[in-house]
Structure 1
Amino acid sequence: TRGRWVAQRAAAGAPADKVVRRDDPDRFSFLVIGDTGEGDDPQYAVVPGLLKEGGDTRFAVLASDVIYPVGSADDYGTKFFRPYRDYPAPIYAIPGNHDWYEDLGGFMRVFCDDAPPLPPEPAPRPLTRAWLRSRLWHRARPDDGRQLDEARKLRSAPGQQAVQPGPYWAIDAGPVRIVGIDTGLLGTLDAEQGAWLREVSRGPRPKILVTGSPLYVDGEHHPCAIEGGGTVDAIVRDPAHRYVAAIGGDIHNYQRYPVDVDGRTIQYVVAGGGGAFMHATHTIPRVSVAGVTEDDFRCYPLRGDSLAFYSGLYGRRLRLRRFFTLTETEATAVIAERLGIRPARAPGTGARVTRRTRLVAGLLGTGRRPDRRKRFRLPVRKIYTQLFSPGSATYSPPFFKCFLRLDVTPDAVRLRCHAATGNRAQELDPPVEDEVVIPLG
């Protein structure tokens, strides 16, 4: 289906190289926001800080899962146009797996020049794999999108408009090229997109990859296979391509891995905290991957805050608050013990590790030292929202959401992760949870 969309856009006049050439100066800023589109309080809580810190940026990029749960066109009103109606600049996007659940139709209409629906494909033979997929696949309603024209009015100013050439693209902006890839449902690239990525990655211009599937996440390396051979990360690591960072959505928190590649550092970032329910960070084991150690690794929320958050959720859900609920101090202390690392914060009163805190930490899947074996744990990621309503206490502040601001100069890119908690103080002054300067030389 991706190939059919790309062919349709090419026939409609989209540039063959799929490059958007902007007129940004050598010094400019842009935003990256990942996994935004649930349309509820956590997504909207990100907006005040985003407007305060990003009101002067030239554009924004949405990295994965623009619309939950299935990418329906009629959901764009409350989950895209309304929350970002006051952001004055264009917004580009790459789709995530949720945007593909209705064959990307809504996404293409919004971001790709109101692309018309694809003609139906011939019906597959009964009892084949293709036939089975067609039985299980979510189909858009015949009238889906009837509210889209009205929703567009919320972002109708000339300065807000943008047209991208398809679900994957490159943007030449100032001294850098931003390359956005579509990893679809399976977190991989088809051969056609892989060939395009190799071609668009050539040349001396410094590059930043934006992907729906992060290449380093939760202490693991996921290089992202390309159909026919090779990986996305091999392209990123090639010194001739001059990638300085790879930013991925899909996982709903912030993580950063500064990986040394033959004497130069590539910043691998997870940035999926733009609105959807929070994925735990306390389940991340002690980091030791590609030469990156705990001293180099950064995450938001901090593991202790993540464990305290989920202990409160389970305490309320199971009506066992006295057993499950941990303070941030207790959670930070038990994580430091289990991982054999320094506490992320200076220990305060009540930092003693007890049998109860150890048991709760284990039940909630707190990361381990590499020499410890896995044990039973309660779900704290996607399975949690399948067991419990997504509209439950999961969405009571603090939300632990975030967005990225990247300030570009001819010499460097400064990347800052700003937090959004749902509390007024942070809305007025979004704190910086992580900051790194990335040389372009």
Structure 2
Amino acid sequence: MSDSSRDTVEGAGWTDAERGTYGRLMPGRVEKLSWLNPRTLWAARNGVAASWFGDPTGQTRSRWVAQRAAAGAPADKVIRRTEADRFSFMVIGDTGEGGESQYAVVPGFLKASQGTSFAVLASDVIYPVGCTDDYGRKFFQPYRDYPAPIYAIPGNHDWYEDLGGFMRVFCDDAPPLPPAPRHRPPGRAWWRALLWHRPRPADEQRLAEARKLRSAPGQQAVQPGPYWAIDAGPVRIVGIDTGLLGTLDAEQGAWLREVSQGPRPKILVTGSPLYVDGEHHPCAIEGGGTVDDIVRDPAHHYVAAIGGDIHNYQRYPVDVDGRTVQYVVSGGGGAFMHATHTIARVSVAGVTESDFRCYPLRGDSLAFYSALYGRRLRLRRFFTLTEAEGMAVIAERLGMPPTRAPGGPVRVTRRVRLVASLLGAGRRPDRRARLRLPVRKIYTRLFSPGSVTYSPPFFKSFLRLDVTPEEVRLRCFAATGNRAQEVDPPVEDEVVIPLTAAV
């Protein structure tokens, strides 16, 4: 097995290595997603409209679910697969940007997924707004050679066109919903309806051609709606739809409580992670309670909760009344990389820094962002940190040894410390915090188009879960964009989750 980023600089993808073959998989012309484009911003306005004037996704979701039920979808929304007691499946989150960072994941994904029964896409299948016409180059083409079914849960971006494209592709070509009832002015609902971005008509010929790319019988998957459960071998996998604003409607909440009953060990897949960036986000359910209340209930026997939305990998082994639940962030499947170097020294729910795992490593994340700012602001000599400097200053700020041993002595100078502070490393409060530059979603919107994020290392990731009656072996694999990691994807994190203790 090849070195990981915890072992060597080469394993992290920093060296001038041979670039991977992923470019051969890409369409001839790739349009780079730009959040500076006013048309893109205007098309993606529904998240803002929902936060200002009320979130209608619960009602829309209920209409989709009712439509699927009328078409014969199972009332309990459970997909029953005939897996043996031992099987494997993949999880990959936040995939659909359609550029180099998505396609760079594909060769390693195909390599590591050999022998798996199915895959699950966890959140944001299609950027920027879930358009049906984008599924060809952002879903069907990249995964055309994965021979097994692919199930999915939507993210907030898939909801920007009322989930129409998602339902067509994953839910048996569900027809468009009839128009919603009109609202009387001048209430909040009326203003929301006035501003709301409506789904655009699909190019039917384009969609038909795209479907041919994954048309083999063994690739077909039909799910009962945007949320579902899969019974496979000894486990139940529960996928929930957290909509535009990261919450559950009352109807889905009632279903989740019902489907979580029973002694079968369960794994949750959600569009909004419950632990992320050293913080707890339990995910509210309309009418009371939270998703994490359900996960923590010992009667429900959850062993893991995997969430997308944040574009990196994180793992928090949380002790819940004497049993360990693995809370995982897995959003590194293809979209722009969200920083890990901004995560402070971890201390949440009894999880300490020694228990916590992330990819990319914080030092690599800091070096990555320093190079981006150096290029975008034309201040490369000032901003750009080497990977060794990034590792050293993170270790200093968090008060811990470097995760990867440096190749030689490293000086942490005043410039290195200032750059780390400006880029929010470790979020240590100090007098320069007011000068902190954006490195998360704001940066994505402002600087990602045309930057060096379109060349290696990408620091992307995906999961493979191997299930037996006794345990689940969860591994996080890396994709850097370099050939070495395509041929032999490195394991960045691994944990064995016992199932016998869950029953």
Which residue number corresponds to residue 244 of structure 1?
Answer: 303
Q: Which amino acid aligns with 2:210?
A: A
SS of structure 2 residue aligned to 1:404: strand
Which of 411, 424, 428 is 2:487 aligned to? Answer: 428
Which residue number corresponds to residue 166 of structure 1?
Answer: 225
1:392 correspondence with 2:392: no
Which residue number corresponds to residue 346 of structure 1?
Answer: 405
Which residue number corresponds to residue 76 of structure 2?
Answer: 17
Which residue number corresponds to residue 189 of structure 2?
Answer: 130
Q: Kindly provide the CA deviation profile for residues 354-393 of structure 1, in whole angstroms up to 9, marking residues without a partner as x.
A: 1000000011111145899954311111111222253432
Which of 236, 243, 253 is 1:177 aligned to? Answer: 236
Q: Aligned equivalents of 1:338 and 1:422: distance in 2?
A: 30
Q: How far does residue 144 in structure 1 lie from its aligned partner after superposition?
A: 4.7
1:152 correspondence with 2:177: no
SS of structure 2 residue aligned to 1:101: helix
1:255 correspondence with 2:296: no
Q: TM-score, normalised by structure 1?
A: 0.98
Q: Which amino acid aligns with 2:158?
A: D
Check the 8 A contact 2:422/2:433 in 1, yes or no: no
Which has the bigger relative contact order, CA under 8 A and spacing at least 6?
2
Q: Aligned equivalents of 1:362 and 1:146: distance in 2?
A: 52
* Greater mean deviation of Cα atoms: 139-148 or 279-288: 139-148
Q: Aligned equivalents of 2:449 and 2:244: distance in 1?
A: 21
Q: Aligned equivalents of 1:336 and 1:375: distance in 2?
A: 22
Q: 1:375 to 1:339 in 2, by over 3 A?
A: farther
SS of structure 2 residue aligned to 1:147: helix
Matches within 5 A, 1:182-261: 182-261=241-320
Check the 8 A contact 1:329/1:350 in 2, yes or no: no
Alignment RMSD, CA only? 1.4
Structure 1: any 5+ residue segments left out of the alignment?
none
State the identity as a percent.
Answer: 86
Q: Aligned equivalents of 1:399 and 1:136: distance in 2?
A: 36
1:60 correspondence with 2:126: no
Which residue number corresponds to residue 8 of structure 1?
Answer: 67
Q: 1:266 to 1:143 in 2, by over 3 A?
A: closer
Q: Which amino acid aligns with 2:280?
A: H
1:326 correspondence with 2:399: no
Q: Kindly provide the CA deviation profile for residues 14-52 of structure 1, in whole angstroms up to 9, marking residues without a partner as x.
A: 000000000010000000000000111111111111111
Q: 1:22 to 1:370 in 2, by over 3 A?
A: farther
Check the 8 A contact 1:338/1:368 in 2, yes or no: no
SS of structure 2 residue aligned to 1:438: strand
Q: How far does residue 281 in structure 1 lie from its aligned partner after superposition?
A: 0.2
SS of structure 2 residue aligned to 1:241: coil
1:287 correspondence with 2:336: no
SS of structure 2 residue aligned to 1:244: strand
Q: Kindly provide the CA deviation profile for residues 240-292 of structure 1, in whole angstroms up to 9, marking residues without a partner as x.
A: 10000000000000000000011110000000000000000000000000000
Q: Kindly provide the CA deviation profile for residues 35-83 of structure 1, in whole angstroms up to 9, marking residues without a partner as x.
A: 0001111111111111111021000000000000000001000000000
Q: Aligned equivalents of 1:138 and 1:144: distance in 2?
A: 18
Which residue number corresponds to residue 32 of structure 1?
Answer: 91
Q: Which amino acid aligns with 1:396?
A: S
Q: How far does residue 394 in structure 1 lie from its aligned partner after superposition?
A: 2.1
Q: Which amino acid aligns with 1:225?
A: A
Q: How far does residue 345 in structure 1 lie from its aligned partner after superposition?
A: 1.4
Q: 1:287 to 1:374 in 2, by over 3 A?
A: farther
Q: Aligned equivalents of 2:431 and 2:341: distance in 1?
A: 16
Moved over 6 A (4+): 370-373
Q: Which amino acid aligns with 2:238?
A: V
* Greater mean deviation of Cα atoms: 155-164 or 126-135: 126-135
1:362 correspondence with 2:421: yes
Which residue number corresponds to residue 325 of structure 2?
Answer: 266
Q: Aligned equivalents of 1:78 and 1:331: distance in 2?
A: 35
Q: How far does residue 350 in structure 1 lie from its aligned partner after superposition?
A: 4.6
Q: 1:373 to 1:16 in 2, by over 3 A?
A: farther
Q: Kindly provide the CA deviation profile for residues 77-136 of structure 1, in whole angstroms up to 9, marking residues without a partner as x.
A: 000000000000000000000000000000000000000000001222233212222233
Check the 8 A contact 1:72/1:106 in 2, yes or no: yes
Which residue number corresponds to residue 159 of structure 2?
Answer: 100
Q: Aligned equivalents of 1:376 and 1:91: distance in 2?
A: 44
SS of structure 2 residue aligned to 1:194: helix
* Greater mean deviation of Cα atoms: 7-16 or 139-148: 139-148
Check the 8 A contact 1:73/1:145 in 2, yes or no: no
Check the 8 A contact 1:330/1:350 in 2, yes or no: no
